[in-house]
């Protein structure tokens, strides 16, 4: 049976990928109580980082938004791996978005809107969340964006 969120994703033409394995000595998620913490996700697509580079130096806001959306898709893939069923996700509590950007780039919130807008579209009102959007001098593997999340889950 398909979850409500996965049904919405299908309507959007999106199939969740398999959850990515960690790239170092950490776990992809931690469940504690009714909270699910998802480690930072990169803009992976078909097993490779799809958007690399620095915003304000070759990449435009639209490139960053694409990267942020891919990160959000991968967050949902990790949430499904953690719970077995996205219907067990009660709501998205918070995301923290890191934007690989130059010192004078100030549109980090616009970049992370690529994730926020997508998550609300996919999850409805339960996808509305608190968030931070910050600049980073560099990100792992040259990724343009990295996003971590906290979800509330049902017992």
Q: Domain of 114: which CATH number? A: 3.30.1330.40
The stretch 22-49 carries a mean pLDDT of 96
93 is a domain residue: yes
Q: Kindly indicate the confidence band of residue 50, based on its pLDDT and cuts at 50, 70 and 90.
A: very high
19 is a domain residue: no
53 is a domain residue: yes
The stretch 23-44 carries a mean pLDDT of 96
Q: Kindly indicate the confidence band of residue 1, based on its pLDDT and cuts at 50, 70 and 90.
A: low
Return contacts of 138-141, CB within 8 angstroms, 24+ apart: 138/54, 138/100, 139/42, 139/98, 139/100, 140/23, 140/42, 141/23, 141/42, 141/49, 141/52
Split into its structural domains, the chain has a count of 1
Looking at the DSSP bridge assignments, the partners of residue 49 are 44
Quote the CA–CA distance of 35 and 53 in Å, as a whole number: 32
Residues sharing a CB contact under 8 Å with residue 83, sequence separation 6 or more, in sequence order: 36, 89, 153
Kindly state the DSSP code that residue 126 receives in the 8-state scheme: G
In this predicted structure, what is the pLDDT of residue 155? 76
pTM above 0.95, yes or no: yes
29 is a domain residue: no
Which range marks the domain in which residue 76 is found?
Answer: 41-153
Q: What percent of the chain has pLDDT over 90?
A: 96
| Strand, coil or helix: 140 | helix
| Strand, coil or helix: 39 | strand
């Amino acid at each position: 049976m398909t979850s409500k969120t996965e049904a919405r994703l299908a309507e959007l033409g999106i199939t969740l990928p398999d959850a990515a394995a960690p790239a170092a000595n950490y776990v992809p998620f931690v469940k504690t109580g009714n909270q699910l913490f998802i480690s930072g996700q990169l803009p992976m697509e078909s097993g490779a980082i799809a958007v690399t580079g620095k915003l304000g130096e070759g990449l435009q806001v639209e490139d960053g938004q694409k990267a942020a959306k891919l990160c959000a898709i991968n967050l949902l893939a990790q949430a499904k791996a953690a719970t077995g069923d996205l219907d067990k996700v009660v709501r998205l509590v918070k995301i923290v978005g890191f934007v690989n950007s130059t010192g004078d780039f100030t549109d980090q919130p616009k970049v992370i809107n690529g994730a926020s807008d997508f998550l609300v579209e996919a999850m409805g009102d339960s996808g509305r969340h608190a968030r931070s959007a910050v600049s980073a001098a560099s990100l792992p593997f040259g990724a343009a964006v990295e996003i971590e999340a906290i979800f509330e889950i049902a017992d």
